Structures are given as C-alpha cells and as structure tokens.
Amino acid sequence: MHIPALLKEALEYLDPKPGENFIDCTFGFGGHAFPISERLLPDGKLLGIEYDKEIFEKLKLQISKSKLQKNIILINNNFNKLKEIVKNDKFFKSNNINGVLFDLGVSSWHFDESSRGFSFQGNEPLMMNCSREGLNAEDIVNEWSKEELIRIFREYGEERFARNIAESIYLNRQRERIKTTEQLVDIVRLAVPGKYRHGRIHFATRIFQALRIVVNDELENLKKALPQALEVLEKDGRLVVISFHSLEDRIVKHFFREKASEDSLKILTKKPIIPGEDEINLNFRSRSAKLRAAIKI
C-alpha cells in the first residue's frame, strides 16, 4: 500500500471544505485524494490525474464502487497538460478550482509491484517508464553516448562518480546489452570505491533516480505544470507541492518566489515542511519529502 507523505500537513494547507473543487495532479492510489474528497462532500468534486494506465484502471474500478464515485473524476493523462484537461472537462471548465495538489513521489507500488525496474533491490527489466511506452532506461544505458550518461548522472542524480559509472556502463555494453536492474547494479558496484558501497544511501540510488527522471521527463513536466496550476486556480486558491529530491524542490521554490515577486502568489511556507520522526518511523520512504504551499492572490 502506498502511504501518503505529509498527509496531515497537506490537508492543513489545502484546507478543503464542503462544496469546494480540487485537483490532484498525481492521483496514484488516492492516498491524498480520498481524504481530500471526503472533506468536499456532499457537492464538491475532485479531478484526479493519473499518468500510469495500469494504476488508472485499478483506481477507476475502485472509485466506481465507492461512496465517492460521484465526487471524483479520474483522468488518464500527464499533468503537463493540466490546462487542456481542465478545459476538456465540463464541470471543471465551468466551476471554480479551490486547490491543486502535486505529490511528486513515485508510489510504493511502482517500486514493489510494477516490475518495471524502478527499484534496485530485485532483478527486473530496465524500464522505469510510467507510461510503458516510448523511451525506457534500457535504451538510455545501451544507446546514449558516454558523455550524455555522465551529464544525466551528474545533473539528475548529483552523482559524484558519474564519469566512472558511465565509463563502466560503456565498456560493459560492448560485451552484452544491459537489460536488467541486477546487471546495472553490478556495474555500478564495481565502478565506485569500496567505501562508497557501504554508505548511508545505497550506491545505486542516484543512478536509478537520474534514469527515472529522464525516462519520465519529470523535471520538465513539473516546470510546465506549475504555471498552469496557478492559472486554473481561482483567487485565494491553494497550491501545495510535495517533492522528494532537491531538484524538484528547487524548481518549486524558485517558481513560488518568482510568482510572489509578481504578486501572483503568497507563500505560506517560509521553509519546506518535512516529516516528523513518528511519520518517518511509520513510513521510511517519506524521509525525503518536502512540502511547500502558497495561495493565489
């Protein structure tokens, strides 16, 4: 089960009330969306956007059997098309939108059950794509140039041994195609110093992060979606973003500051809200979560 990070804090800053209308741009398994929707009853609605077709089908069936079936509109699309999605939905096109939420983390289901190579713990096909279509991680590690691999490992993984790892990947793929997570982990293990293999963070974490970001175009999608979220919100509407690594958080921070300087937003969180010790003990994957909130003015 996907346990939502910073749920209490997200509800506090979004402050959903009966009859209001919200958008959850990253619906997932509804960890935030269902509690929000409960607070919108009886007449408020939530538009949920879910990019992963497999998750979308599971949740569509679940929602159809729940008491919230009339309050949740679920769409299978990418949140980088937020304005278009709102425009195409008759209800949200003609009604005020009081809050927008982005929970940018990859769900536990993706890591534990999707079998698409998001996790370095098992041995799965090297995919990492939420859409199951287009570019995947296998294409990148086997076909991109050594310099491109160095760039993405540095830029998106902030990996200090990016060059060593890229060179090792380049040499290994000459012998055989790298198709699985296990192959990639073994290559990374041999490319980094022994001390680095036993650090607090798993030695392959940053490489897997970099590949996932590139495969799903995560940072560019966020840059495209934030201005659209501000545009669709009504005056006094709330915008909450939960990020899970510094690259995402930096984009959100700069966007909030820029719009605050233009008097378009009022920032509600001077510093990002982070999970407390109790939440981290309950849900270790929440440890890197940061929440930022703002209100449209």
Taking only the tens place, the pLDDT of each residue in 46-57 is 999 999 999 999
Model confidence pLDDT, tens digit, residues 141-178: 999 999 999 999 999 999 999 999 999 999 999 999 99
> What is the extent of the structural domain holding 190?
116-216
What pLDDT, on a 0 to 100 scale, did the predictor assign at position 137? 97
What tokens were used for 216? 């799903």
Q: Judge whether 230 and 257 are in contact, CB under 8 Å.
A: no
What is the number of structural domains in the chain? 2
Are residues 105 and 131 located together in one domain of the fold?
A: no
d(CA 192, CA 143): 22
What pLDDT, on a 0 to 100 scale, did the predictor assign at position 285? 81
Burial class (CB in 10 A: 0-12, 13-18, 19+), 154: middle
Last residue of a domain, one of 216, 249, 266: 216
Q: How many CB atoms lie within 10 A of CB 84?
A: 12
**Phi then psi dihedrals of residue 201, to 5 deg:** -105, 135
Which residue ranges of the chain lie beneath pLDDT 70? 1-2
Are residues 87 and 140 located together in one domain of the fold?
A: no
What pLDDT, on a 0 to 100 scale, did the predictor assign at position 2? 64
Q: Judge whether 13 and 37 are in contact, CB under 8 Å.
A: no
d(CA 241, CA 249): 9
How far from each other are the two terminal CA atoms of the chain, in whole angstroms?
37
What pLDDT, on a 0 to 100 scale, did the predictor assign at position 174? 97
d(CA 33, CA 14): 11
Can you give the CATH number for the domain in which 283 is found?
3.40.50.150
Can you give the CATH number for the domain in which 172 is found?
1.10.150.170
